[in-house]
């Protein structure tokens, strides 16, 4: 065996560092511009002029060429000056969002939704019990079983019987089906505050978490304004706010329909919104009221919350608003569903959602 060979340490190329730094900024800008590459590059140019992000040896033009070479963007077939992001970029945006949000979370245990119940699983606990018919052999605690045999029968007359066997309890693991509803009504960009970008970032991070860490879980994502419609994970970066009202009832109805098709026992709805329900669709017409908590709309919304409760679907509302009258409505909505509500700012929205999703909760996983 030759062993290890040590050579001189050669630090990373400064140009490589510049590309990575620019890429991180570019991915953030893509989220803000709803996947518009040209607009993101224009903003990156402005940032470079203001903050000198590049050097004399490596400019934005070099960065664009490297983006194309490494498969982050591709040119349009009809127009060479029009760029589109690739599936590689979409995955990278989701991964970055996951890293950003998880870096803020407190340290916790392993994932896969641990519950307070023992049963079939893959994580051993400190609990022990006597052998029962049907227990798997890999659950057998050999050391404890031999010790029991010595105590019960003595060393000189050693024998191992069924009564001596001791079983290691395993932590029961469960799967969940989640629907994430994102409000895309006009108020999500009202008053000069960008609320849709953090919502999209959380949705992408949650999608990346479930697909990589909880493969047995399911995640559906719904955008809701005047209507509600499902979107694919790959479509999240392109999600934009429209001139819509907030049809929460339509969103919950679609979420219930999606969850009805899932086989998982544990089903939940996450709602990211900043406003009150202001719209209903009755037949082909829309009933709207932007001025207050319209009783007709509110009663329908509360009816859906109660219906979800009867079906065992927990609703967690993440409210990006501090208005007292809105909080009162959310409190009543949550009470009817027996779910949870968080009144979060844009900076800690991801922390609330991920801690709620990953945390072990007896009342959620029954």
DSSP of 161-189, one letter per residue?
A: -GGG-EEEEEEEE--EEEEEEEE-SGGGG
How confident is the model at residue 223, as a pLDDT?
97
Q: How far is CA 185 from the centre of its chain?
A: 21
The answer to whether residues 73 and 83 touch, using CB atoms and an 8 Å cutoff, is yes
d(CA 188, CA 68): 33
d(CA 118, CA 9): 50
For the chain, the structural domain boundaries read 14-85, 118-171, 176-358
**Counting Cβ atoms within 10 Å, is residue 241 exposed (0-12), middle (13-18) or buried (19+)?**
buried
- Cβ-proximal residues to 353 (8 Å cutoff; 6+ apart), any chain: 202, 206, 270, 272, 318
- Residues of the chain with confidence (pLDDT) below 50: 1, 106-122, 360-366
The answer to whether residues 196 and 253 touch, using CB atoms and an 8 Å cutoff, is no
Q: 176-358 maps to which CATH number?
A: 3.40.50.410
Output b/e per residue, 57-89; b: 16+ Cβ within 10 A.
ebebebbbebbeeeebbbeeeeeeeebebbeeb
DSSP 12: P
Distances (CA, A) of 309 to 231, 270, 356: 25, 14, 18
- Cβ-proximal residues to 136 (8 Å cutoff; 6+ apart), any chain: none
How confident is the model at residue 29, as a pLDDT?
93
Which residue is it, tokens 């050391």?
143
d(CA 54, CA 57): 8
Q: What are phi and psi of 330, to 5 degrees?
A: -60, -40
Write down the pTM of the prediction: 0.70
- Cβ-proximal residues to 2 (8 Å cutoff; 6+ apart), any chain: none
The answer to whether residues 299 and 307 touch, using CB atoms and an 8 Å cutoff, is no
How confident is the model at residue 107, as a pLDDT?
44
């Amino acid at each position: 065996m030759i062993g290890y060979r040590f050579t001189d340490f050669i630090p990373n190329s400064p140009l490589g560092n510049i590309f990575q730094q620019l890429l991180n900024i570019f991915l953030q800008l893509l989220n803000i511009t709803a996947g518009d590459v040209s607009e993101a590059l224009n903003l990156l140019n402005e940032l470079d002029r203001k903050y000198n992000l590049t050097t004399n040896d490596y400019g934005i033009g070099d960065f664009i060429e490297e983006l194309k070479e490494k498969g982050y963007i591709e040119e349009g077939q009809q127009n060479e000056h029009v760029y589109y992001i690739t599936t590689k970029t979409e995955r990278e945006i989701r991964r970055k969002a996951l890293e950003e949000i998880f870096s803020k979370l407190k340290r916790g245990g392993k994932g896969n939704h641990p519950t307070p119940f023992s049963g079939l699983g893959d994580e051993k606990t400190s609990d022990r019990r006597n052998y029962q018919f049907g227990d798997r052999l890999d659950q057998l605690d050999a050391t404890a079983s031999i010790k029991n045999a010595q105590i019960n029968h003595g060393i000189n007359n050693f024998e191992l019987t069924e009564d001596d066997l001791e079983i290691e309890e395993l932590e029961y693991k469960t799967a969940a089906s989640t629907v994430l509803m994102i409000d895309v009504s006009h108020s999500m960009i009202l008053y000069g505050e960008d609320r849709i970008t953090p919502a999209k970032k959380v949705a992408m991070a949650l999608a990346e978490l479930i697909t990589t860490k909880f493969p047995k879980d399911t995640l559906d994502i719904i955008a809701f304004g005047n209507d509600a419609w499902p979107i694919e994970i790959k479509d999240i970066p392109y999600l934009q706010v429209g001139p819509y009202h907030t049809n929460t009832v339509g969103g919950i109805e679609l979420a219930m329909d999606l969850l009805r098709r899932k086989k998982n026992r544990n089903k939940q709805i996450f709602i990211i919104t900043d406003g009150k329900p202001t719209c209903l669709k009755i037949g082909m017409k829309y009933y709207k009221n932007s001025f207050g908590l319209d009783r007709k709309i509110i009663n329908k919304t509360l009816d859906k919350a109660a219906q979800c409760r009867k079906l065992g679907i927990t609703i967690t509302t993440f409210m990006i608003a501090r208005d007292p009258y809105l909080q009162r409505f959310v409190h009543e909505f949550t009470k009817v569903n027996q779910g949870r509500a968080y009144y979060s700012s844009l900076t800690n929205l991801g922390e609330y959602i991920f801690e709620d999703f990953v945390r072990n909760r007896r009342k959620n996983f029954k």
